A and B are shown apart, each in its own frame.
Chain A
Amino acid sequence: MIKRVYNFTIASLKMTFRNRFALFMSFMFPVAIILAFGFFNNSNAPKLNIAVITGNSKSISNVKNTSVSVVENNIIKELKKSGNVKVSKVSSLSDGESQIKNNNIDLLMYVTQVSSIQPILPKCRVGYACPQFIGVSKIPHYKISFYANKFSSNIAYAELFISSFKYNVLKSTLTSTNVSIPFSYSQTLLTSGKEENSYIDFLIPGVLALSLMQGIIFAVINIIVNYKELGVLRRLSVTPLTKSDFIASLTLTRLIFGLIQIAILIVIAAVFLNVLPVGGTIGFVNLSVVIILGSLMFVTLGLIISTISNKTATVFPIANLITLPMLFLSGVFFSVSDLPSWLQNIVNLFPLTFLANALRGIYDHGYSLLTIHNDIIGMAVWVVIFFILNVIFFKWE
């Protein structure tokens, strides 16, 4: 049996790689989605949501035009000139922090006036003994504190904004003659309550799951229905190749092809979009385990669909009917948590939801298999259900 399965698997892989059109489609479809959404996401110049804390800190010197509120207003005025920034005001630091927690803003700015200690340098006449140090003085200056939202999808732009802000202040300080009060900065990363990666990080594991589902289900039903229509299965049935040999090599072929397909897509995502799975070698091992389980799930599902009808004309619409709701709802393009809760309860049981969640957990967060055990159990349950249905319903003809 092992020999027959091996030989038939090798032959099936040959056929898969010789069928150029199908091969092209199985890579173009996910790559097109990833690149389209990836570039779409990149081409949209991000709008930074910046909040400035106003009216909360006291000035410690009463130098005209240099009180904190003047600086705050100047900053807001400057920020408003920039088209890529949306400015809002908050009244306190805790208020601003809660805005970050709720993911409402990318960056919080807080101006305070502090005094710094500066050495008083002696005025010495040439030729006289001169003391090295005669005392210190307190000089008021402004400290601008930046609080960036670590899990904002715009975090890179926020950081870029901070450095360009510092540069511009420095430049204006150097060129203007009457700026006498220096600035200092502090920078803090705050985490929002809901951990969120950028959209492309979210998208890629979902598209991997989707392309695995589409690739396997449509390949399986195409092979089965085609072989049935052409009588190839009938001819195979008069050889010692058994049904289980046939299904085992079909499964093995799709599994190997699925792993290759996902590997290539991961490389494409890494090269073109700089999105790499986190977690190193163990991450790849975990990914492989999940992909194998997912492949089993979709091979068995594909086999069931192909037993519903023997005709190409009806079996493909049926397959679409089953895969399309998963394509849209299973958390590939947007999070399942955005759905109404009654729908979430259903969608969370979809085969693709389990796979997409598992892949996303490993890919984006480096979760262990233990952490995502719910998704793994979910997929395993589907495999068992589909397998039993196949044992009951699958026929050669």
Chain B
Amino acid sequence: MSVIEVKDIKKNYKDLVAVAGVSFSVEKGEVFGLLGPNGAGKTTTVEMLEGITKIDEGEAFIEGIKVSQNNHELQNIIGVSLQSNNFFDDLSLSEILNLFASFFNIKINPLDFLAEVTLTEKSKTKFKDMSGGQKQRFTIALALINDPKVLFLDEPTTGLDPQSRRHLWDIVSGLKKKGKTIILTTHFMDEAEYLADRVAVMDSGKILKMGTPKELIQELISKGFVKKVVADERANLEDVFIDLTGKNLRD
């Protein structure tokens, strides 16, 4: 049985149709990518699954739990990294982790979670004093606090430099290896290609195509598509950039 089952969910904001009937399912341990330009309905879809946004029509199940009905049960099995992640400016990372753990009524060692995202030495730093990349990594550590079965990462690399981006990819790959089911939204195709087992391409609140990245590329090529500028497939400009500036994180 699928971990996530989404059946024709819809969301309207007055006259605006944000999500116009989306269905998909995600297997255990899978990284599922939702791709699409800004305003495609990725975030609305994800927030409906997280229980933040009310589902107007249709239904979704996570681990068999009906999303629209069991908010509390749902909260205990999902981990969430929102698109704009801000926390309490005047608390340290350890304090925020401990506070969130107390919401779930669990005791944790903050350093374990910070080690996961290479922020161990920042445990006493206040949230407001961190860089964008560090905040994004911390957000993932915080999403893991209740040992969730399903992890939602909404545009986790937007606004990061290539080093931070690659580092975050490593973290997500590591989580996948640990068996977490992950839903990832992004508008970076290379990111989806690198991380996602399957992707759904969305636009105007609808899924246009779904499949593994390879399947989708193969399908396009089989339609007779030829890339106008053929670059050397063995490397791209970002690889050059990383080669020149190194892999080390800058923040």
Chain A interface residues toward B at CB < 8 A: 3-4, 7-8, 11, 14-15, 18-19, 230-232, 234-235, 237-241
Inter-subunit contact B76/A240 (CB<8 Å): yes
Pick from B76, B83, B87, B90 the residue with the most CB of A within 10 Å: B90
Q: Are A238 and B51 in contact (CB under 8 A)?
A: yes
B90 touches A232 (CB 8 A): no
Contact between chains at A18 and B90 (CB < 8 Å) = yes
Q: Which residues of B contact A15 (CB under 8 A)?
A: 88-91
Q: Considering only CB atoms, which chain B residue lies closest to A15 in the complex?
A: B90
Which of B14-22, B97-105, B117-125, B202-210 touches A? B97-105
- In the complex, whether B75 has a CB less than 8 A from a CB of chain A is yes
CA distance A3 to B86 in the complex (A): 23
Contacts of A238 in B (CB 8 A): 50-52, 75, 78, 80
Subset of 17 A-B contacts with CB under 8 Å:
A4-B102, A4-B103, A4-B105, A7-B103, A8-B99, A11-B95, A15-B89, A231-B82, A231-B83, A231-B86, A235-B82, A235-B87, A238-B52, A239-B104, A240-B76, A240-B104, A240-B105
* Minimum CB distance partner of B86 in chain A: A230
CA distance A221 to B53 in the complex (A): 24
Closest 6 interchain pairs by CB? A230-B86, A7-B102, A18-B90, A15-B90, A239-B103, A231-B84
Which residues on the A side are within 8 Å of B90 (C-beta)? 14-15, 18-19
In the bound complex, residues from chain A placing their C-beta under 8 Å from that of B91 are 11, 14-15
Give the complex CA separation of A363 and B119 in angstroms: 53
Tell me the complex Cα distance, A347–B51, Å: 45
* Highest count of chain B CB atoms <10 Å: which of A4, A231, A232, A234: A234
B131 within 8 A of A: no
Chain A CB within 10 Å — which of B83, B102, B105 has the most?
B102
* Cross-interface CB contact of A239 among B85, B88, B100, cutoff 8 Å: B100
B88, A232: Cβ atoms under 8 Å? Answer: yes
Q: Report the Cα distance A361→B100, complex, angstroms.
A: 44
The docked-state distance in angstroms from the alpha carbon of A231 to that of B88 is 11
The answer to whether B72 and A240 have CB atoms under 8 Å apart is yes
Instruction: For the complex formed, measure the closest distance between the CB of B183 and the CB atoms of chain A, giving whole angstroms.
Output: 14
Q: Which residues of A contact B83 (CB under 8 A)?
A: 231
- Interface size, B (range): 20 to 34
Contacts A238-B50, A238-B52 given; indicate if A3 touches B105 (C-beta within 8 A). Answer: yes
Cross-interface CB contact of A240 among B50, B99, B103, cutoff 8 Å: B103
A235 adjacent to B50 (CB under 8 Å): no
Identify the closest chain A residue to B89 (Cβ): A15
With A7-B99, A11-B91, A235-B87 given, can you name 17 additional A-B contacts, CB distance below 8 Å?
A: A7-B103, A11-B95, A11-B99, A18-B90, A230-B84, A231-B82, A232-B86, A234-B82, A235-B85, A238-B50, A238-B51, A238-B75, A239-B75, A239-B100, A239-B104, A240-B75, A240-B104
Q: Which of A7, A14, A238 has the most CB of B within 10 A?
A: A238
B213 to chain A, nearest CB (A): 29
A235 nearest in chain B by CB position: B82
**C-alpha spacing A14/B105, complex, angstroms:** 20
Q: Is B103 touching A241 in the complex (CB atoms < 8 A)?
A: yes
In the docked arrangement, what's the CA distance between A182 and B52, Å? 92
Cα–Cα distance between A231 and B84 once the two chains are bound (Å): 7
Q: From A397, which residue of chain B is reached at the shortest CB distance?
A: B52
Residues of the A chain whose Cβ atoms lie less than 8 Å from the Cβ of B80: 235, 238
Please indicate the chain A residues that have their CB under 8 angstroms from the CB of B82 in the complex: 231, 234-235
How many whole Å from A375's CB to the nearest CB in chain B?
36
Q: How far is the CA of A66 from the CA of B84 in the complex (A)?
A: 93
The one of B86, B88, B104 that contacts A11, using a Cβ cutoff of 8 Å: B88
A66 CB to nearest B CB, Å: 79
Complex Cα distance A11/B88, Å?
9
Bound together, the chains give a CA A372 to CA B52 distance in angstroms of 46
Whether A234 and B52, one on each chain, are in contact in the complex, defined by CB atoms closer than 8 angstroms, is yes
Note all chain A residues with C-beta closer than 8 A to B89: 15
A241 to B105, alpha carbons, bound, how many Å? 10
* In the complex, chain B residues whose CB is within 8 Å of the CB of A11: 88, 91, 95, 99
A392 → chain B closest CB, angstroms:
18
B91 smallest CB distance to A (angstroms): 6
Assess the A237–B103 pair: CB atoms within 8 A. no
Q: How far is the CB of A246 from chain B (nearest CB, A)?
A: 10
Contacts of A230 in B (CB 8 A): 84, 86
